[in-house]
Every structure is written in structure tokens, then in C-alpha cells.
Amino acid sequence: MAINWTEAQIEQIVASVMKNLGHGAPDADCQWNSTSYCGRNLIGIYEDMNDAIVAAEAGYKAIRSMSVEDREKIITVIRRLCREEAPIMAKLGVAETKMGRVDHKTAKHMLVADKTPGTSDITASVKTGDFGLTLTEMAPFGVVGSITPSTNPSETVICNSIGMIAAGNGVVFNPHPNAIATSNYAVDLVNRACAEAGGPRVLVASVAKPTLDTANIMYKHPSIRLLVCTGGPGVVKSVLSSGKKAIGAGAGNPPVIVDDTADIRKAGKDIIDGCSFDNNLPCIAEKEVFAFDSIADELIDAMKGAGAYLITKEQADKLAEIVLVDKKNPKTGVISKIVNRDCVGRDAAVLLEKIGVRVCSNIRCIICETEFEHPFVQHELMMPILPIVRVRDIDQAIDLAVKAEHGCRHTAHMHSKNVDRLTRFARAVETTIFVKNAPSYAGIGFGGEGHTTFTIAGPTGEGLTSARSFTRYRRCVLSESFRII
């Protein structure tokens, strides 16, 4: 599990995977939808959410009688298939959602395969004393209902499945409608792995047409004992209002501070690497920069050297008119700005073309200097657009960065060699993830220590979820015996 990839290794993995990209990937001859892929029916996909829940419950009952070792065998096959079919899912994800980048999505699947904890994450604890022995074990909930996003669709389905199966659960997914074929491909992959390892034919299930109604059936169904939601504020709120135990992994708007002690060249490259990863779709990715005025010019130069394209204030305002659109609240009539879904996760070159700027394909991020109030700073764009705000000192940097994070307490980044300043910002911003002197993805184990997850549960406090997040603690008391001293 302790994989710490260097940048060269990541490039090597991506290069070797890209070589096989044509194999099995969706092409003109391959028809795909939410229930089939290249003429093959996907396993575990149902028209009716109730049927999906019944199937997952049968799968859960089947694995209850299996040993932990057998569960680990299922997970081993999931990891293998995830690696082998990463290019297919990456290409399918981009083709279906029109968001992100195939090479980066491929690397994300490799990360899930290699660094999502399995059954080793499930442990027991014992307390002994004058009254005997008390054992606490991590037990499955039963069937977990999981809502997954369009931004990391198959990554989240597979990552959730590994953790939830390791914990002994069955799973029903209500995936994002815009990524349903990709998500259901991953559901099928998990079921194929399960059957190959001697488990039930269906252990995880999904629906052909997910809607808010199918989500509501899931919320209310008595067999669903735990809800896990990975998505924006609306859906997290709806899950937390369900009346059931729920894990909510919501939105963020990660700020980055760069001070005058940082290695500026490295900071510029790290920030562009993180911000442009999968075209800024990951919720942890750098969304706005607060740079000390004294180093801001040097930082911008470093960013340009790392593949960023600097636009003017006027161009930034023009782009903001395109990537953000008005939405009227049907209840209050109040109009507010929301992100234009057609621009989320698009290549920097595509976004630049919308304001009449043509660049070559090695440009991977758009940067601009803005004031703090600019919509690029205030909105979670999920696009490779990075606003830079000049600040005079650390006090102003922390003050503005905390405000820009909007209390999501999700992720923040800082480039500095001053330990006091790093500590001050980490304490003030109170985020689940705080990355120092590295690209954002180091926070989920990509070139950083620690396990990975694509469900970062800030609102409900589980943090970077893993198998143990999907368990309930049960106690067994053996009074006045079983103590050997």
C-alpha cells in the first residue's frame, strides 16, 4: 500500500497505459449506454431501484457467509480489472461526460486500484481489566446506498465498492445521470470481479435511469442502512435530511497561499500540475491563489513556464460571462450565478477559444490576476482557470483564503518554508486536507503518503473515507474471564 510515485513514475504509468488505449475503448463500432457495452449486457443494472436494492441485499447476505480472506480475494480481482480496464473507463468517461482528460482519468483509476484500502483497514480492539475482556469489532451496515458524481464517476464507484465490500456490505448506486454509462460500467466490473473470485453474481447494483425519484426510493427503503453521498451541496443536503445515518462528501473551493519563502519555481509548477489535473475536476484541486505581492510576478512566470496561459483582466471578465450563467431561484425569484455545465472540465484551449484566443494543446491552464471579489475566486468552477490575487502579507493572505474557502472545510494548500505561517493557515482554515509544498493530488495519495479516496467526507467528519468508515462498531463483553493475567 505504501506507494509513493515520483512524477517520472506517474508519467511512465500513463505512457504505458496510453499505449493500450485503443484496446476495447469506445470507438465507432462500440455502442454503449447505461445497460450495455460493446454488445455485452452490464451485470447488476436494474430498471427499478427496488429490484436493485433486493439484488444488493442478496449479495450482502451471500458475502456474510464468506471469510474475510474471501472478501479480500474479490478486492484483489477488482484491483486487477481496474488497472486493466482503466483506459476503457477513462475514455468512456470523457466520451460520455465531455469532461476531463483521458490520461489523467487513467491515472486516477490506477490510484484507486493501488491505494484504496481493503480488508486490512478493518480492525478489532480489546480492553481487559478486573471485570474481564471487552471486544469491539467493525461490522457491516448491510446494504449501503451510494450517490456518486459526474466528475470522477467510475473512480468513485470502484473506490466506494472496494471500501464497502472490505467492510462486508452490499452496495446500491444512484450515479449521476450524466455519467451513467461510465458508472454502470464500473458496477459491472465489480460484479465480474466478484463472480471470478467465487462471490455472488451481483454484489453491487445500480439503475438504468437514475433520477431524484430513484434516489428517494433509496433514502426510504428499509434495507438501506447507510447512505453515502459524493457530490455538490444540494445532494449532500438532501442525503443529510433523509433521517438515516449518512456520510456526506461535499463541495470545496480550495485556496492556495504562496508566500515569499517558497521555492517559487516549484510552487508555480506544482500549482499548475494540480490545478490542471483532469481539467480541475477533482474537488481537492487548486481553485484560487493568494500570492505575496513581492513574489507574484515570479510566480506567474513560473506558471507560464509550466503550461499556463495568462489572460488580461478584460479577457477574464469576458470569460466569466461565458463560464458562469444566471439561474433564477424558483421559490424566491432571486437570480444568482452558477457554473455553465458546458464549460466544466473542458480543456483550457477550448475555453480560450470561447473568447477568441487560439493556443496550442500544451497550454493546460488559464491564469489571470483578479481582485478577491471576482467570480473566478468565489465560485467552484471545476475548470482549468486559476485566478491569482495579490496580497501584502500573511495576515491578509490567510484572511482572504479562509473567506474564499466559504467554510466548506474541504481542502487548502500552501507553498512556504515558514513553519509558523504554515501552521497558522492550517489552524485558521480547518480543512479536511491541507497540502504543503506539493500539487493538490498529493493530498489523496498521488505522490504523497497515505491511502486514497474519492469520497472526502468533510461535512460529516469521516475525512478521507476508507473501509472502516462504512462499518458500525459492535461490542462483546466477556465478564470475569478470558483475562490471562
Instruction: Between 284 and 397, name the residue whose CB sits nearer to ligand NAD.
Output: 284
Cα–chain center distance at 105: 11
Instruction: Between 176 and 390, name the residue whose CB sits nearer to ligand NAD.
Output: 176
Stretch of 46-54, 261-269, 357-365, 454-462 lying at the interface with ligand NAD (CB under 6 A) = 454-462
The nearest distance, CB 285 to ligand NAD, in angstroms, is 9
Q: Express the helix, strand and coil content of the chain in percent, nearest 5 each.
A: 45, 20, 35
**Torsions phi, psi of 385, nearest 5?**
-125, 125
Instruction: Between 61 and 237, name the residue whose CB sits nearer to ligand NAD.
Output: 237
What one-character DSSP code corresponds to residue 440?
G
Stretch of 24-32, 244-252, 412-420, 434-442 lying at the interface with ligand NAD (CB under 6 A) = 244-252
The nearest distance, CB 337 to ligand NAD, in angstroms, is 15
The nearest distance, CB 432 to ligand NAD, in angstroms, is 8
Of these, 24, 132, 177, 307, which contacts ligand NAD (CB under 6 A)? 177
Neighbours of 162 (CB within 10 A): 27
**Torsions phi, psi of 56, nearest 5?**
-65, -35
Of these, 176, 269, 390, 421, which contacts ligand NAD (CB under 6 A)? 176
Neighbours of 35 (CB within 10 A): 18
Stretch of 249-257, 288-296, 327-335, 434-442 lying at the interface with ligand NAD (CB under 6 A) = 249-257
Of these, 34, 116, 119, 152, which contacts ligand NAD (CB under 6 A)? 152
Window 18-77: residues binding ligand NAD (CB under 6 A) = none
Instruction: Between 414 and 444, name the residue whose CB sits nearer to ligand NAD.
Output: 444
Identify the sign of the CA torsion 86, 87, 92, 98: positive
Burial class (CB in 10 A: 0-12, 13-18, 19+), 332: exposed
Of these, 26, 175, 200, 375, which contacts ligand NAD (CB under 6 A)? 175
250 binds ligand NAD (CB under 6 A): yes
Of these, 283, 300, 323, 352, which contacts ligand NAD (CB under 6 A)? 283
Instruction: Between 27 and 47, name the residue whose CB sits nearer to ligand NAD.
Output: 47
Of these, 249, 271, 401, 412, which contacts ligand NAD (CB under 6 A)? 249
Contact 148, 157 (CB under 8 A): yes
455 binds ligand NAD (CB under 6 A): yes
Among 136, 118, 304, smallest CA distance to 197 is for: 118
Contact 172, 204 (CB under 8 A): yes
Stretch 367-396: interaction string toward ligand NAD, x if CB under 6 A = -------------x----------------
Stretch of 38-46, 130-138, 149-157, 443-451 lying at the interface with ligand NAD (CB under 6 A) = 149-157
Contact 75, 118 (CB under 8 A): yes
456 binds ligand NAD (CB under 6 A): yes
Q: Mind giving me the DSSP string for 203-221?
A: SEEEESS--HHHHHHHHH-
Instruction: Between 5 and 219, name the residue whose CB sits nearer to ligand NAD.
Output: 219
Cα–chain center distance at 406: 19
Helix (H, G, I), strand (E, B) or coil at 150: coil
Instruction: Between 176 and 415, name the residue whose CB sits nearer to ligand NAD.
Output: 176
The nearest distance, CB 370 to ligand NAD, in angstroms, is 21
The nearest distance, CB 118 to ligand NAD, in angstroms, is 20
Element (H, E) at 15: helix 7-19
Stretch of 102-110, 170-178, 299-307, 389-397 lying at the interface with ligand NAD (CB under 6 A) = 170-178
Residue 129 pairs in a beta bridge with 132
User: What is the C-alpha separation between 28 and 30, in angstroms, rounded?
Assistant: 6
Task: Give the cell for residue 146.
Answer: 451510494
Window 216-235: residues binding ligand NAD (CB under 6 A) = 230-232, 234-235
Residue 436 pairs in a beta bridge with 414
User: What is the C-alpha separation between 94 and 6, in angstroms, rounded?
Assistant: 26
User: What is the C-alpha separation between 364 and 361, in angstroms, rounded?
Assistant: 7
Task: Give the cell for residue 387.
Answer: 485566478
Window 101-120: residues binding ligand NAD (CB under 6 A) = none
What contacts 16, CB < 8 A, 6 or more positions away?
none
The nearest distance, CB 147 to ligand NAD, in angstroms, is 5
Start-to-end Cα distance in the chain: 36
Residues forming contacts to ligand NAD in the complex (CB under 6 A) are 147, 149-152, 174-177, 212, 215, 230-232, 234-235, 238, 249-252, 283, 380, 454-456
